[in-house]
Amino acid sequence: MEKGFQKAGTAFGKTAMSINLRGEMYSFNTPKLMGIINATPDSFYDAGRNNTKASIKENLEMMAGQGVDIIDIGAFSSRPGAKIISEDEEMSRLVPVLSVARKDFPELYVSVDTFRAGIAKRVVEDFGVDIINDISAGSIDRTMFETIARLQVPYILMHMQGVPENMQDDPRYNDVVQDVIKFLAEKKFELNLMGVKDILVDPGFGFGKALDHNYRLLAELKEFAILDSPLIVGISRKSMISRLLNIKTEESLNASTVAHSWALMNGADILRVHDVKAAREAIELISKLNSFSFTQ
């Protein structure tokens, strides 16, 4: 089958797309759920939750039972001020999660969240990882694009202004929506020229954005349809929610679900979430509403 997204009917009020995943067409005729697995000791929300094989299996089993479609495993904390770790340490954190996922949950699609081309190569070749999720869009490791072109796996292209160490110091934009779209369009074009067709885009909520930048991006999410790529939204329990409402991260599930519902109504194809059950319910409810709204 030819690689690259294809049109596949309509869903949630827009034309659905698909990517080539494990050699088959993977359609976004309904939005998908990407469950977050942090293999880090200093995650902003679930630090240390996946530090043993038993806890990893329990977490994956829970997500699978709640209807997750893809798991996204990250082993390098991208929060400002996080400790810089070596490539070997990043890989050593990934291996236990990948081993459990592949042995016990082979039906789950697996994404690895890394900006290092060496890690991308190792996890795809050694563990058959399905998707690479790069917060830097190839800007930190300049060999990432050529690596993805060789590996020919779907690639998540995310916008970030600066690097994790300084991204929140003083983010500035002429027009945040248009600037982010332009960045993603240029990177996508570069990848296309290298033969990469299976590209998903992520506006990068919280990565080099002030509070109003994040909400402007969310408010105008429909504008990202111009990129003609599956759209990922990652806002689960982020500080853009807790800061606005003056609540703790642990108290932000309800507000995260509200934000997810807005994203679904405005073009999100994948929700990247900590709480699979709540996000699955949001998808099912809005899907039901859309079955009336978009009936021919």
Q: What is the pLDDT of residues 48-102, one digit of tens each?
A: 565 688 999 999 999 999 999 999 999 988 776 667 899 999 999 999 999 999 9
CATH of the domain at 167: 3.20.20.20
Q: Which of 238, 248, 277, 280 is catalytic?
A: 238
Q: Active site includes 237?
A: no
| Residue 294 contacts residue 13 (beta carbons within 8 Å) | yes
Q: Is residue 92 part of a domain?
A: yes
Q: Is residue 89 part of a domain?
A: yes
Q: Is residue 5 part of a domain?
A: no
Exposed / middle / buried, residue 148 (Cβ in 10 Å: 0-12, 13-18, 19+): buried
Q: Is residue 21 part of a domain?
A: no
Q: Is residue 239 part of a domain?
A: yes
Token code pair at residue 248: 């703790």
Q: How many domains does the chain contain in total?
A: 1
Q: Where in the sequence is the domain holding 135, given as residue range(s)?
A: 29-293
Q: Is residue 79 part of a domain?
A: yes
Give the span between the Cα atoms of 197 and 149, in whole angstroms: 9
Q: Active site includes 150?
A: no
* Model confidence pLDDT, tens digit, residues 162-194: 666 666 667 789 999 999 999 999 999 999 999
* Stated pTM of the model: 0.90
Q: Which of 197, 272, 277, 280 is catalytic?
A: 272
Q: Is residue 59 part of a domain?
A: yes
